[in-house]
Amino acid sequence: MPKAAAPRPGYTPVMATSHTGQPLNVHIARRLQDEALLRSLLAPGVHLSVGNGETLPPTDTHVLVAGRPTAADLDAAPGLRRLIVPYAGLPAATRDLLLERPHLMVHNLHHNAAAAAEMAVTLLLAAAKAIVPADQALRQGDWSIRYNGGRQLLLAGKRALVVGLGAVGVRIARALSALDLTLRAIRRHPERGAPANLPVSVHGPSDLPLLLPDTSVLVLAVPLTPDTEHLIGARELALLPDSAVLVNIARGDIVCEDALYEALANGRLAAAGLDVWYRYPADVAARRATLPATRPFHELDNVVLSPHRGGAFGRPELEGARMQELARTLNALARGAVPPHRVDVRAGY
């Protein structure tokens, strides 16, 4: 067993409280970068095994930690009852396997919610204030954007709509409130409302067309599911004011690629900040030579492009935060408590 590592500065210790008296056998499908830290945070009743991505879970496994398990992984242990996907979201192939195994409960980890929300706000401000073209011009000694009344949008006092009020969406809404934007949000179960002290009106998905005409800032923070694919198409973009800014940190296919490009290219949409895309590198060699879409978004100066890094931050800090949340989830299970971030497999999130 690797030597236990002390939690790094800034981490909140995970208390190893008493468990149910029965061991909780946990198998992690792939070796971790910070396994020693995880082991140091686990309650005594949690027994951990780690695979190499190819070996099947032990037959006595109760909890499997894997993002893309195979059918063989899910069927290897008769006592398997829970799957923990070690990030936000549920891959489509994993969802299909789980629909065939309704006895399995699924949980996500939202250790990078703060980073994703920060990226959303960064993209919004950069797009609204035309930071990228101003930066590129000034690097050439060109100050004309300061004097020619170039595009720069005032956000204060406008209306923002956050689609998806989960761990990330709540953080985004709080940040937008601080910018003096009037907040609305859409969530699948609007009756659940919003956290206390968050000044946001909550609506159901059917209200989307009614809210778009006076929405100046549209932020997408909803998972990609059969219900949300192409949620924003030509019709929805046409409902937005021509001064609106769209930010997508969810998944590219939440927005129809062709419709988005056309709206930006013809000025029907003022600007966009995009962290998620329609094309990704097929392998390591392609990472330096893959445009992110079939349409030339890279030629538009009213788009801020980011290579899907919203949930990332410093690698040691990122993995440490993941181990912290994974330990909290496993320790809750060991105590017989209900861990957070349960996934509705049928809904896809």
Domain formed by 113-305, architecture: 3-Layer(aba) Sandwich (3.40)
Measured over the CA atoms of residue 280, residue 284, residue 287 and residue 291, the dihedral's sign is: negative
Residue 262 has a pLDDT of 98
Structure tokens at 57: 């879970």
Residue 34 has a pLDDT of 82
DSSP string across 77-97: -TT--EEEESSSS--HHHHHH
Beta-carbon contacts of residue 29 (< 8 Å; ≥ 6 apart): 51, 53, 57, 64, 65, 66, 67, 69, 73
Q: Domain spans of the chain?
A: 24-111+315-334, 113-305
CATH of 24-111+315-334 among 3.40.50.2300, 3.30.70.260, 1.10.287.3510, 3.40.50.720: 3.40.50.720
> What are the φ/ψ torsions at residue 344 (nearest 5 degrees)?
-85, 105
User: Do 24-111+315-334 and 113-305 come out as alike in CATH topology?
Assistant: yes
Amino acid sitting at position 214: D
Each residue's pLDDT expressed in tens, for the chain with a length of 349 residues: 344 444 444 434 333 333 456 899 999 998 887 889 999 999 999 999 999 888 899 999 999 999 999 999 999 999 999 999 998 888 889 999 999 999 999 999 988 899 999 999 999 999 999 999 999 999 999 999 999 877 889 999 999 999 999 999 999 999 999 999 999 999 999 999 999 899 999 999 999 999 999 999 999 999 998 899 999 999 999 999 999 999 999 999 999 999 999 999 999 999 999 999 999 999 999 999 999 999 999 999 999 999 999 877 656 788 888 999 999 999 999 999 988 889 999 888 8
Cα distances (angstroms) measured from residue 197 to each of 173, 174, 177: 11, 9, 11
What count of other Cβ atoms lies within 10 Å of the Cβ of residue 78? 8
Distance CA 311, CA 321 (A): 12
Closest-CA residue to 200 (of 231, 227, 173): 173
Residue 8 has a pLDDT of 41
Q: How do the residues of the chain divide into helix, strand and coil, expressed in percent and rounded to 5?
A: 35, 15, 50
Q: What is the DSSP letter of 325?
A: H
**pTM of the predicted model, to two decimals?**
0.85
Cα distances (angstroms) measured from residue 165 to each of 86, 197, 216, 256, 296: 20, 14, 18, 21, 31
Burial of 301 (0-12, 13-18, 19+ CB in 10 A): middle
Distance CA 335, CA 44 (A): 11
Instruction: Using alpha carbons only, give the angle 84, 86, 89 rounded to the nearest 5 degrees.
Output: 90
